[in-house]
Amino acid sequence: MEFTSYIILGLFFSSFLFIGAACVLYWAYRNGQLNNLEAGARSIFDEEEEPLGTQTDFFPDKRRKSKR
Amino acid sequence: MSVPASIATAIDPRTESPEAIRVRLSEVDTSMKVPGVFFMISALFWLMAGTVFALIAAIKFHNVDFLGDSEAFTFGRVRSAHLNAMIYGWGTNVIFAVAPWIMGRLCRTRIRFTNILVIGGVFWNIGVTIGIFGILAGDKIGVEWLEMPAYATPLLAIAFACTGVWVVLLFRWRESGHVYVSQWYFLAAFFWLPWLYTIAQIMLVFEPARGVVQSLTNWWFAHNVLGLWLTPIALGAAYYLIPKVLGRPIYSYYLSVIGFWSLALFYNWAGVHHLIGGPIPAWLISAGTVASVMMVIPVIVVAINHHMTVVGLHKEGWASPTIRFVVFGAINYTAVSLLGSAMALRSVNEVTHFTHFTVGHAHHGVYSFFTMIMFGAVYYMMPRLLNREWPSAMLISLHWWATAVGVTLMVVVLSLGGWIQGLRLNAISDDGTVVYQFMEVMEYLNPYMVMRSLTGVLITIGHVAFFINFFWMLCQRPDPRTPARPTLLTNEA
Amino acid sequence: MSDSDKSPYPPSGESRSTFEGHRFSDEGLQRKHAQLLREKEEPSEGFSPMPLFLVFLIMILSFWAGIYMVEYGGYFDAFHFDETATPGILVQDTGPQEVDMLALGRRVYSQNCAICHGADGSGQAGVFPPVARADWVQDNPERLIKVTLAGLAGPIEVNGRPYNNAMTAFGRLSDQQIAAVLTYIRTDPALGNNSYPVSPELVAQVRAEWGARRNAWTGPELEEIHGPVTGNWSPSNGSTPETAEE
């Protein structure tokens, strides 16, 4: 009996999570987040500071050597 | 204006002009400087403390009398102190340093109210300190991954709320149209952990559930701290860092969306497989096994994505400390998750359960995957926060080689030893007696335990190198010629 | 540095005095940039199809998951703990079982005795007396039962060699377990002893007589009751009631 009551309690709490996830997925769809996915992949690059096609991290000594 | 109203205004993005919100990456970096450095210093001290606890616990396996006179350093306490120092001390502090920074960069907005972030961090560290001392003093709770005594946990919950809320609020200020996959992972993680922690605290510490529900809740929580907190953060960081460092967009963004949602769907079921063989209703364990095996989908998706992004750029990647660590972590994510799916099968679990194989698997996940990606993120983040270069390439190399070789060897040693241990413990002769006495199996494992301690020493060397490099960097005076932007992008000449 | 010359994204040579300004004058960089852009812009709607094998993988895994849940779902019953069992069929009571005393004895020995006396019964010189080829073992079973129930402390001689240590009491074991383990050490050919078996009734009798005793026996005490250890006891020459015989 106790086990069943725990299951019901668990279902109650987890339903929040699942409904929440469903709402978020619906929001993402309505918001157009799932439309142009490949452009989304490029959204992390910044033309001014860290542009596409440029490596942005090196070992410190590598950079010093190339400076000379 | 009342206080709540003024707070509401202060956190409302509409009260700021759009120009003030969309900022340059370097401005995000500057705004994160103080909290970032604070969290990194805390994380590093916990990393070193956790390493010491780990070494003590490891030595006790082959040298039982080691520190045997000291009550605080008995195995049961030191092991828990190690685990909690690493998860809540190192892991969560480094997440508090890295996650808001990446989130801010992706949202194109500076981090606001950083002093509240720091205050939350101070209380978090006080809470963890109280918790660890509580464990060493013998007040620990007998629930794995939740050993901290009840007097430390409310403080942790409040501190987490103070800190985590800013990561979520950053999203509200976002000034980039697209929500990148890392943002999905981070947001989800910062919702999941409080949820997990609250339910676990209520059901295990303050109003403990009775019977097997207690152990079910325990393993649901423990596995999900890894699966719904450490994993999404590390994956989000990898999804940001790999394309960013290499300057090449992620191979298939479509796949990354599938990966995120299938992880969200399957991972939180998986913890039950820790209770295979226990008096748990069979369908629950079967559901856990199925979910663990279904985790293959997000894992394969992430593996394809990360691999295809890096492919062809191996030399460039090798020249970047960040990529070395992150790719090592990403490869191990694939390996550890596929192994984990296999371990959830009943026939495999019968052998690996209660052996060192599980210990090896835990280190594979939390260290080879999570911690290595976090190391990579720190190597990328710190020069940008401080406008300084890492002082020593040699120390970075040492850190990478010592930890990568150390943890790989450790996982191999523990998996091999654990597998043989499991086979021998289970071995039954025809007349129903055990083939190997328990003590015989333990004696057989002794060389493996010595090896494990040696790999621990190797990892410690790596941590010390990282520690020295980090504080050396902090103590350096900034180069006056360096402009106020990420140093790694500018040519100093 | 030679490898940075070949590298598509060099940490730069002289051509880029400031990175920002000269970014687009670096030909190699531009070329690579263009390549990458071209590479990524093929899917027109920004929608790359899912790799086919992944579709198959998901299908196979879902199929397997369904089968697994049906096979090992335990009928979704909260009180069904064994995934392989069918409901309704309980374990059938087939009446009292014949116990193989040797097998039971071997198991009890390996769980309780082997830690000190050794898996092969050889013991350890001066500390743990042997049970293999030992005069004590082949002597009066009552002496052994007493030792097993309450333990033994102080100096004794086994096979003429001195031993001095304390043996734990095993009174918590059942009469049948004690009878089985003593039968095992007295009769199993692997231990080199060739004596008579011990019955649970004899153990029960000794327990009824001496069960209240809490402190361990000593060698001289036992000698007072049973006489010196000879190692060639048999029901006929010993002063043991008939219950010792099968």
Q: CB B287: neighbour CB atoms within 10 A?
A: 21
Tokens representing residue B405 in the block: 């070789």
CB contact under 8 A, C4 and A66: yes
DSSP string for residues in C195-236: -----HHHHHHHHHHHTT--SPB-HHHHHHHH-S--S---TT
Whether B243 contacts B249, CB under 8 Å: yes
Q: Is B75 left (phi over 0), alpha (psi -120 to 50) or beta?
A: alpha
Distance between B408 CA and the closest CA of chain A, angstroms: 23
**pLDDT mean over B90-105:** 93
3-state class of C166 per DSSP? strand
Helix axes B356-363, B321-343, angle to 10 degrees: 150
Of B413, B417, B416, the C-alpha closest to B405 is B413
Check residues A3 and A5 and name the one with the higher pLDDT. Answer: A5
Check whether A65 has a pLDDT greater than 50: no
Residue pLDDT, tens place only, A16-62: 888 988 898 888 888 877 777 777 777 777 766 777 777 778 887 66
Size of interface B-C (CB pairs under 8 A): 103
Tokens representing residue C63 in the block: 């199929």
Q: Burial of B112 by CB count in 10 Å (0-12 exposed, 13-18 middle, 19+ buried)? A: middle
Q: Which pLDDT score, from 0 to 100, does residue C5 have?
A: 44
CB contact under 8 A, A39 and C37: no
Q: CB B228: neighbour CB atoms within 10 A?
A: 23
Tell me how far apart the alpha carbons of residues B12 and B148 are, in angstroms, rounded to a whole number: 36
Whether C32 contacts A53, CB under 8 Å: yes
Q: How far is CA B14 from the centre of its chain?
A: 35
Tell me how far apart the alpha carbons of residues B370 and B102 are, in angstroms, rounded to a whole number: 16
Radius of gyration of chain B (CA): 23
- The amino acid occupying position B462 is G
Tell me how far apart the alpha carbons of residues C232 and C137 are, in angstroms, rounded to a whole number: 10
Cα dist from C42 to A51, B229, B235, B309, C37, whole Å? 20, 36, 27, 16, 9
Which alpha helices (DSSP H) does B311-392 contain, by range? 314-318, 321-343, 346-352, 356-363, 372-386
Which C-chain residues 22-61 have CB contacts (< 8 A) with chain B? 36, 40, 47-48, 50-51, 54, 57-58, 61
Lowest mean pLDDT among B68-72, B292-296, B380-384: B68-72
Which residues lie across from B304 on neighbouring strands? none
Q: Which pLDDT score, from 0 to 100, does residue B480 have?
A: 56
**pLDDT mean over B269-281:** 88
Residue pLDDT, tens place only, B422-469: 999 999 888 777 889 888 899 999 999 999 999 999 999 999 999 999
Q: Which contiguous run of DSSP H or E holds residue B212?
A: helix B212-225
3-state class of B248 per DSSP? coil
Determine how β-strand C161-167 pairs with β-strand C152-158: antiparallel
Q: Among 3.40.50.10490, 1.20.210.10, 3.40.50.880, 3.40.50.1820, what is the CATH number of B246-475?
A: 1.20.210.10
CB contact under 8 A, A58 and C11: yes
Which ipTM was obtained for this model? Answer: 0.83
Tokens representing residue C55 in the block: 């579709």
Q: Which pLDDT score, from 0 to 100, does residue C49 have?
A: 67
Tell me how far apart the alpha carbons of residues B312 and B163 are, in angstroms, rounded to a whole number: 39
Flag whether residue A49 sits within 8 Å of chain B, measured between CB atoms: yes
Radius of gyration of chain A (CA): 24
Neighbours of B, requiring at least 3 CB pairs below 8 Å, are A, C
Phi, psi of C163 (to 5 degrees): -135, 140
Tell me how far apart the alpha carbons of residues B337 and B295 are, in angstroms, rounded to a whole number: 8
Which C-chain residues 193-232 have CB contacts (< 8 A) with chain B? none
Q: Which pLDDT score, from 0 to 100, does residue C51 have?
A: 79
Contacts with A43 from chain B: Cβ below 8 Å? 106, 176-178, 180
3-state class of C64 per DSSP? helix
Tell me how far apart the alpha carbons of residues C159 and B105 are, in angstroms, rounded to a whole number: 83
Q: What percent of chain B has pLDDT over 70?
A: 92
Whether C166 contacts C105, CB under 8 Å: no
Q: Which pLDDT score, from 0 to 100, does residue C48 have?
A: 58
Q: Which pLDDT score, from 0 to 100, does residue B143 have?
A: 87
CB contact under 8 A, A36 and C32: no
Of B403, B412, B416, the C-alpha closest to B370 is B403
Those residues of chain C that have pLDDT short of 50 are: 1-18, 20-21, 39-46, 240-246
Tell me how far apart the alpha carbons of residues B294 and B258 are, in angstroms, rounded to a whole number: 13
- Torsion angle in degrees (nearest 10) through CA of B111, B115, B117, B118: 130
Q: Which pLDDT score, from 0 to 100, does residue B456 have?
A: 95
Check whether B122 has a pLDDT greater than 50: yes
Choosing among B250, B255, B286, B441, which should be mutated to test the C contact, i.e. which has the most C CBs within 10 A? B286
CB contact under 8 A, B290 and C69: yes
Q: Which pLDDT score, from 0 to 100, does residue A34 have?
A: 76
Which alpha helices (DSSP H) does chain C contain, by range? 2-6, 27-41, 52-72, 101-108, 114-117, 141-150, 175-187, 200-210, 219-226
CB contact under 8 A, B437 and C110: yes
Which domains occur in chain C, in start order?
21-87 (no CATH), 101-244 (1.10.760.10)
Query: What's the whole-model pTM score?
Result: 0.76
Phi, psi of C46 (to 5 degrees): 65, 40
Residue of C nearest to A35 (CA): C46
**pLDDT mean over B360-382:** 95
Tell me how far apart the alpha carbons of residues B246 and A53 are, in angstroms, rounded to a whole number: 7
CB contact under 8 A, A33 and B323: no
* Mean predicted lDDT score pLDDT of chain B: 88
Which alpha helices (DSSP H) does B251-313 contain, by range? 253-266, 282-294, 296-310
Check whether B470 has a pLDDT greater than 80: yes
Cα dist from B331 to B97, B307, B406, B457, whole Å? 24, 8, 16, 23
Farthest-apart Cα atoms in chain A, separation: 77
**pLDDT mean over B108-114:** 83
Tell me how far apart the alpha carbons of residues B111 and B169 are, in angstroms, rounded to a whole number: 9
CB contact under 8 A, B283 and C76: yes
3-state class of C161 per DSSP? strand
Q: Which pLDDT score, from 0 to 100, does residue C61 have?
A: 94
Q: Which pLDDT score, from 0 to 100, does residue B289 have?
A: 93
Q: Burial of C242 by CB count in 10 Å (0-12 exposed, 13-18 middle, 19+ buried)? A: exposed
